[in-house]
Structure 1
Amino acid sequence: MKERATIICWQHGKVLLVERGRARWSLPGGTIRRDESVAEAAKRELVEETTLAVDDLEFLFQFGGLSKRHYVFITELGDDAKPKPSNEILRCRWFRPRKVSTLATSVPTREIVKLVFGEHVLSPQL
């Protein structure tokens, strides 16, 4: 099973999603390298995909699918945090959590957002 670090970025009641070019939105994140911790992978992937560097990540839970295990982290970003698409990312965009279920997303993205925010909740359940 592949392991992946996944990050929920939270700012002003919205969650950050990225688009890799398959017309699907997803949470930032990616593969964990052998020489790094899960938290290090989350921070690296966030910088690689959005140019956002964070120090404060909170581990939430593991989410398992058929072929991937997601280690899910959350971070609240300040007003000065402005994501910019980088590497394979074409777009970065903020969405209200309840909007995510109406978008073309990966199943893990949709389910992780639902677990963290509920279907109609406007703030993270921390």
Structure 2
Amino acid sequence: MKKRATVICRKGKRILLVARESKWALPGGILKRGEHLSDAALRELKEETRIAGKSAKYLFDFKSKQKHHHVFYCDIPERAKPRPSNEISKCRWVQPEDIARLLTSTPTNNIVKLVGQKRKSSRGK
């Protein structure tokens, strides 16, 4: 199973998605040999959106059928404007509740739901 660094970026309540061809997904990708997970998260964010993240905070692991996602929250500059690069065709800020109506990868939908659940449970403490 391939290890993947998957990135959650927020602007207010919106989450950043990227599109490869027609499917929306969270930014991220496969680790390079010997690369640290958090370094991979920041590298992939920059490669795909041209945004230099300030830091990458580990959130949780999520296993899909083909990949082991190591999910990170990345702080980004307030005025950062994502621009597609590399294999990405589009970038978009999306309300979490709108993601279910988009054509996304199954892991993207599940990871966004988990992030929302974890945020709610941490506020209740």
Q: Same fold (TM over 0.5)?
A: yes
Q: 3-state SS of the aligned residue for 2:91?
A: strand
* Count of residue pairs the alignment pairs up: 121
Write the distance in 1 (CA, Å) between the matches of 2:33 and 2:93: 31
Determine if the alignment matches structure 1 residue 98 to structure 2 residue 100.
Answer: no
Q: 3-state SS of the aligned residue for 2:42?
A: helix
Per-residue deviation, 1:13: 1.1
Question: Structure 2: any 5+ residue segments left out of the alignment?
Answer: none
Of Structure 1 and Structure 2, the greater helix share is in 2
Q: Is the 8 A contact 1:84 1:91 kept in 2?
A: yes
Per-residue deviation, 1:67: 1.4
Deviations 1:45-73 (A, max 9, x none): 00000001112221100000111000000
1:9-28 aligned within 5 A: 9-21=9-21, 23-28=22-27
1:36-115 aligned within 5 A: 36-115=35-114
Per-residue deviation, 1:92: 0.2
Question: Structure 1: any 5+ residue segments left out of the alignment?
Answer: 119-123
Q: CA RMSD in A?
A: 1.5
Q: Which residue of 2 aligns with 1:121?
A: none
Q: Is the 8 A contact 2:52 2:76 kept in 1?
A: no
Ranges of 4+ aligned residues in structure 1 off by more than 2 Å:
75-79
